[in-house]
Structure 1
Amino acid sequence: MTARLPSLALGALLAAGAHAGEFVHKDWASACDNTRHCEAVGYQDMAQSEPVTLWLARDGGANAPVVGKLMAYAEDADDQASLSIRAGEVLIQGIRRDITAAQMARLLPALKKADVAQVSDGRHTWTLSLAGLHAVLLKMDDAQARVGTLTALVRTGRQPASAVPAALPAPPLRAAPLPPQRDSDKALLPAILGVLKDADCEDIASEGAYGSIHRISDSQLLVVRQCSLGAYQGAYGVWRVNDKPPYASVRLMLPDVDGKPEDSAVEANFEDGVLSSYAKGRGLGDCGSFNSWLWTADGFKLLESSNGPLCRGMPGGGFMLRQWLARQIN
């Protein structure tokens, strides 16, 4: 006889499996975050030069719908023009980026039966590859424990929708109160930058200050300093320092989606208690990643994380896939 897990243990396993990470198969990619929210994105195949992308998303829970967005790009295309998409015999018209629930109800079954979909704005035609779609939808089903249920996108079964676990709440993060900024703090930056010596932070020569300073308490400051510089973006380290010599600097770590500490953020910006980072990947379209951390009484905590593993030349990097989400409380 199979032993039954206690409800608390089962809940812990479901929570641990909610963050399914990133998965790429052929022309599609997917990711699921810590709340059981899953996203997938597909593009044209490598032989096509005109970029087109379809983004699909679904929350956890029995009755969560599939939502979608459609984008296509050509140099002379009208950004305001509506799009149509044909998969097999099914034609959906009048799409202005967001796909309605009624449109999705017709489109998704057709996509699962086709190899490609044709997208048009009336003047241009794009070919969306569907190679890899089944694999990423199955990953989404698996992460949301839908496989074998009536709600599964790929491997449906007889289990009722009630067998699907609910979405998980985004963990709350309490922001640390920040004092008013002082005009005199900026004058401290050159001296503080001069004492921030770290083996993992290069001493970059530049004109003027290459960092920013922010007051986080009556006696301490946060300093964001450039540590390395690439072709078109830089990596920044973050320190907590005293506002009086010798400053007693401490390098701060930034947790990633797996809880591992990172020591820098790309193109970092600190505003209203949130440190944000946007990194461009090398390659056509500049696939990117976005992270933000909230300043709390226990240091920086991950607030949101998204990544674009595929972009296939789509300007701006196409759609990123969310991998982590927390909820800020004050």
Structure 2
Amino acid sequence: MRRNAGNRIPDGWQKTLLGAGLAVVPALAFAAEPEPKTFRDWMAGCDNLKSCAALSLPAEAADPVAYLRLERAAGPDMPAELTLRLRGDWKTPPRSVQLRLDGAPFPAGGKAMPAETDGDLLSLTFKPAEVTALIEAARKATKLAITAPQVSAEVSLSGSVAALLWIDEQQGRLNTTSALIRKGSGTSVPAAPALPVVIAKPASAALSEKDGKALAAALRKELKQRDPDGCEDDETLLSIDEAWTLDGTRSLVSLACSRGAYNVSHAFWMIERGDAKTAKPVVFPQGDGDAKNTLVNAEFDPKSGRINFFAKGRGIGDCGASGGYAWTGSAFVQTDLSLMGECRGIGSEDWITLYRSEIK
């Protein structure tokens, strides 16, 4: 499939693009979480628990947008779950669809498959026997056709077998009875790693808007002396600045440092005893900028002690990165991370998860 550079996040996520009409792409340093891999018209990735997902990539400008999403948790007894998504501008959403694999009815007999709708999103969840049959058919079939009254769409199966084989490898299933692709007689499959637990601490007290703006202004003044070009300071950005008291001595300050068409870049700083001269950048494992203290479209919730971000690859939010961090009393620790490097109409709920944790 031909790739349109305008609809794909650059490999490596190593550059930040700012300006009207350009995405703000976080320069994520994937020390612990490798990027999803692309296999022709499919993409696959796994998180820190070895839970993996594979997605078909819709054709550019497809209408409706159609894709398959397979997800499987690690461990010997965990099944593969397969869902078909259709997103379109429905006047009356179809309640069922009919499927064909290279022209042959699927499943055998050609019965209509029931679907559920949620707004503009239609979902069809396959039964276990149907998942097995579709994976087996994908070895030879090239496309899955979807039809319903006034609806016609296709899903490419090119690369699906390679994507699922890669998942088998990541989960230690190759040549075992539970493998999706390369089955064997083996029965030993590694268990899933333990789920990290993060103990989040809320901010201890609230700063008034006046005091917060004053602290942010003092920080901007201090940073101008350190690096005059480090943070833009037009009135629109200044109005977004915020500050919070984390504990008896430390404050968290968020400065809006740059703005694009649909993204705002926020730099987070820690200040001791209200003195801007003590400011140190907060270090996020996947942060942007030289100090790794910048997140895109980020919000701090003082009640939960959590920062969430959603960096859009383009305005409709069908690609980019989303995730979060939690304040533990000593540092901000990563809690979750999801990515989608192809701008193809895939909603953020179906992006590839690369990191997850339990937050208490």
TM over 0.5: yes
Distance of 1:261 and 1:70 partners within structure 2: 41
Corresponding position: 1:216 with 2:246: yes
Q: 1:67 aligns with which of 67, 70, 81?
A: 81
1:48-69 deviations in Å (ceiling 9; x for gaps): 5542111110000011111122
Corresponding position: 1:90 with 2:116: no
Distance of 1:109 and 1:77 partners within structure 2: 35
Corresponding position: 1:204 with 2:233: yes
Structure with larger RCO (C-alpha < 8 A, sep 6+): 2
Q: 1:299 aligns with which of 328, 331, 334?
A: 331
Q: Residues 1-330 of structure 1: matches in 2 within 5 Å?
A: 21-46=35-60, 50-76=64-90, 78-79=92-93, 81-87=95-101, 88-91=104-107, 93-96=113-116, 97-102=123-128, 103-160=130-187, 163-183=188-208, 185-197=211-223, 199=227, 201-207=230-236, 208-246=238-276, 248-256=278-286, 262-271=292-301, 272-282=304-314, 286-312=318-344, 314=345, 316=347, 319-329=350-360
Which secondary structure state, in structure 2, belongs to the residue aligned with residue 279 of structure 1? strand
TM-superposed CA distance for 1:256, in Å, is 2.6
Give the AA of the match of 1:241. I
TM-superposed CA distance for 1:191, in Å, is 3.1
Distance of 2:309 and 2:323 partners within structure 1: 5
More displaced 10-residue stretch of structure 1: 237-246 or 297-306:
237-246
TM-superposed CA distance for 1:71, in Å, is 1.5
Contact 2:305–2:327 at 8 Å: present in 1 too? yes
More displaced 10-residue stretch of structure 1: 279-288 or 125-134:
279-288
Contact 1:293–1:301 at 8 Å: present in 2 too? yes
TM-superposed CA distance for 1:263, in Å, is 2.7
Contact 2:164–2:180 at 8 Å: present in 1 too? yes
* % identity of equivalent residues: 25
Give the AA of the match of 1:93. M
Contact 1:43–1:311 at 8 Å: present in 2 too? no
Distance of 1:57 and 1:277 partners within structure 2: 24
Q: 1:292 to 1:121 in 2, by over 3 A?
A: farther
Q: 1:318 to 1:37 in 2, by over 3 A?
A: closer
Give the AA of the match of 2:105. E
Give the AA of the match of 1:206. E
Give the AA of the match of 2:146. V
Give the AA of the match of 1:281. G
Distance of 1:157 and 1:261 partners within structure 2: 48
Q: 1:261 to 1:122 in 2, by over 3 A?
A: farther
TM-superposed CA distance for 1:80, in Å, is 6.5
Distance of 2:232 and 2:159 partners within structure 1: 45
Q: 1:78 to 1:189 in 2, by over 3 A?
A: farther
Unaligned runs of 5+ in 1: 1-17
Contact 2:251–2:274 at 8 Å: present in 1 too? no
TM-score (ref. length: structure 1)? 0.83
TM-score (ref. length: structure 2)? 0.76
Aligned residues: 307
Quote the RMSD (CA, aligned, Å): 2.8
Contact 1:53–1:318 at 8 Å: present in 2 too? no
Contact 1:150–1:159 at 8 Å: present in 2 too? yes
